[in-house]
A and B are shown apart, each in its own frame.
Chain A
Amino acid sequence: MLEVRSLTKRFGGLSAVKEVTATFETGRINAIIGPNGAGKTTFFNLISGFHRPTSGRITLEGRDVTGLRPDRMAALGVGRTFQTTSLFDQATVLDNLIVGHKLRTQSTFWDVMTNSARLRADERACRAKAEEVLDFVGLAPIANRLAADISQEERKRIAFALALATDPKIVLLDEPAGGVNPEETVGLANLIRKMVRSGITVCLIEHKMDMIMSLADRIVVLDHGEKIAEGTPAQIRANPKVIEAYLGADYAAA
């Protein structure tokens, strides 16, 4: 599905991501873990097109997509969420989601000026998509609530819904369960499983180890920008390098 080869990003003299090679397979939940400052978010920014890699290649379904702009990556099927989601607080939840499907529409500026049939059809399609993804993430009951009035967990679900509205093949989730309570974390983990069951490949960054270990099919561990380990949760838990760099002896024993 998505492959990176010797991906490197240097900011001045600092290598934020160094020679990382990894493969994210279709229909899997891939996790990226590592201590703060390990280069996880930079890695996501490289894949989603926000940073241009210093060297290395990114291929999506066999196609070279290295250095493409974020909007092009989105069009090719790479969706993503951010650690914090900025919504238009004075609009309803549903209103916030409608724009998410715009990239799959064809209307031009002329269509807007004439309010053409094509524009209206596109707007109906976007609204329908917004309702569909809202239902998918379980927020249909709050569709008409103001975005200012929703909880942190609901905001996380909306971030998922926005990414899903772009019809992605792969979704990059940056700390999807950051700042929500344990009970809600379980709910979000279930939602991620549901996304994978619907045919989407997931790649996530997360610090909540219990969640990662039960959720991920494969884990990549980054430290100081380098990949120090890769494998199944069981392999990662037993890896001495990972224990030293990130997990700590307590977690390995438990």
Chain B
Amino acid sequence: MTPLQKGLLAALAAGALVFPFVAANDYYIYVMSLAYIMAIAAVGLNLILGYTGQLNLAHAGFMAIGAYTVGILTVDYGWPYWATFVLAGILAGVFGLAAGLLSLRLKTHYFSIFTLCVGFIIYLIIEKADGLTHGTVGISAIPAPTGIGPVQFNSTVPQYYLVFAFLCLSLFVMSRIVNSLLGRSFVAIRNSEELAETLGINLMRTKVLAFVISTIYAGLAGALYAGFVRFLGPDLAREHHTFDMLAFILIGGIGTLFGPVLGAILLTWLTQSLQFLEDYRMIVFGPLLILLVMYFPQGIVGFYRTQQARRAAAAPAPERSARPARVEEARVNA
């Protein structure tokens, strides 16, 4: 990271920290927290979609699995919130493993269509199994996350900080993954599965790993959602939530660490500010999306990064200017 990027990141984090104090009312804080929760899920989706190149359309389904784990166990069985929170991640990961092993045998759009069906099946099961999930009625009065020490999470501001802390943690873990050799093998698979295999990457194992990690992110985001919104309906598993996350990723920057977060925040506020147009807001929203995809196909962060890289390549680096003599020699000898 360059000093400029570090400064930018620090400024953003500082902005997020003081946001509850400058926000006009609690509703804005609530909207921002919800954007962070969706961002955590989108960061997970970005691992399988943006880095590994597999468009998983069941992501909202895995988020719902996490959310319902919390909802069912806290409301019907009286489990403590944090125990269900951990279990939500584990369960989403286990279901992710099963779905991944099956669906990743398919490639490209076949995989996407298959996962679209997986997501819809999750939705149907939640809707129909009303003995377990309360069906279309949904689960209400889900308890807020239990307090940690002196901090209680039953009002908007502490919840905002809780969600923000999880967003930071999820970004930290994701940065470890994508900046490591493992992250490089994900990107290698996205570029060309054949080439990746020739470089000794076990295709199935690596793809399933990316899939499972992304579903764990979805599950934990769902668990936070359950404790924050305190009401759950089967609609959470529907594909339009996956498409929302997809839009966050595309606009913020596909295959970039901060892209999904930026996209989630921007789009959430854009939707909020177009609320007065009611159903007509899509007339503004649609063309805006098309323009963004036309002129910034890499998204905002991706566009910025490409510019940076071009500038870096154009500037003469001391290491490179010292080298050509030796390289020319190598070419002649070759």
Using a CB–CB cutoff of 8 Å, the interface residues on chain A facing chain B are 48-50, 69-71, 74-75, 79-80, 82, 85-88, 90-92, 98-100, 102-103, 105, 107, 109, 112-113, 115, 119, 122-123, 126, 135-136, 138-141, 143-146, 149, 162-163, 165-166, 187, 190-191, 193-194
Contacts and interface: CB of A to CB of B under 8 A. Distances in A.
Interface in B278-305: 298, 302, 305
B128 interface: no
Contacts of A190: 331, 334
Interface in B178-213: 180-182, 184-185, 187-188, 190-192, 194-195, 197-203, 209
Given A115-B176, A146-B310, A87 B191 contact: yes
A105 B197 contact: no
B201 A141 contact: no
A50 B197 CA distance: 9
Contacts of B313: 92, 144-146, 149
Q: Which of B177, B180, B185, B209: most chain A CB closer than 10 A?
A: B180
Contacts, number: 128
Residue among A50, A92, A140 with most chain B CB within 10 A = A140
B104 to A, nearest CB: 15
20 contacts: A74-B197, A79-B198, A82-B192, A86-B195, A87-B191, A90-B305, A90-B309, A92-B313, A98-B184, A99-B184, A99-B187, A112-B177, A135-B330, A140-B323, A140-B326, A140-B327, A141-B323, A141-B327, A162-B195, A193-B334
A123 B179 CA distance: 10
Contact of B195 (A82, A91, A98, A105): A82
B266 to A, nearest CB: 21
B78 interface: no
Interface string B209-225: 10000000000000000
A-B pairs with lowest CB-CB distance, top 7: A103-B200, A74-B200, A70-B197, A86-B192, A99-B184, A190-B334, A194-B334
Interface string B74-102: 00000000000000000000000000000
Interface in B309-329: 309-310, 312-313, 317, 320, 323-324, 326-327
Given A109-B209, A112-B176, A48 B198 contact: yes
Contacts of B190: 88
A139 B324 CA distance: 9
B181 A146 contact: no
Main secondary structure of the interface of B (DSSP, over half): helix
Contacts of B191: 86-88
Contacts of B298: 90
Contacts of A69: 197, 202
Q: How large is the interface on B (under 10, 10 to 19, 20 to 34, 35 or more residues)?
A: 35 or more
Of B203, B302, B326, B327, the most chain A CB neighbours within 10 A belong to: B327
Given A149-B313, A162-B199, A135 B327 contact: yes
B327 A102 contact: no
B185 to A, nearest CB: 6
A82 B195 CA distance: 8
A47 B190 CA distance: 24
B4 interface: no
A37 to B, nearest CB: 20
A136 B330 contact: yes
A85 B324 CA distance: 25
Given A99-B185, A138-B327, A92 B199 contact: no
A163 B201 contact: no
A86 B189 CA distance: 10
A119 B309 contact: no
B306 interface: yes
B1 interface: no
B197 A71 contact: yes
Contacts of A92: 309, 313
A105 B181 contact: yes
A159 to B, nearest CB: 9
Contact of B302 (A50, A90, A112, A145): A90
Nearest to A95: B184
A100 B199 contact: yes
Contacts of A135: 326-327, 330
B306 A85 contact: no
B18 interface: no
Given A90-B298, A99-B188, A107-B181, A70 B331 contact: no
Given A140-B327, A166-B199, A112 B180 contact: yes
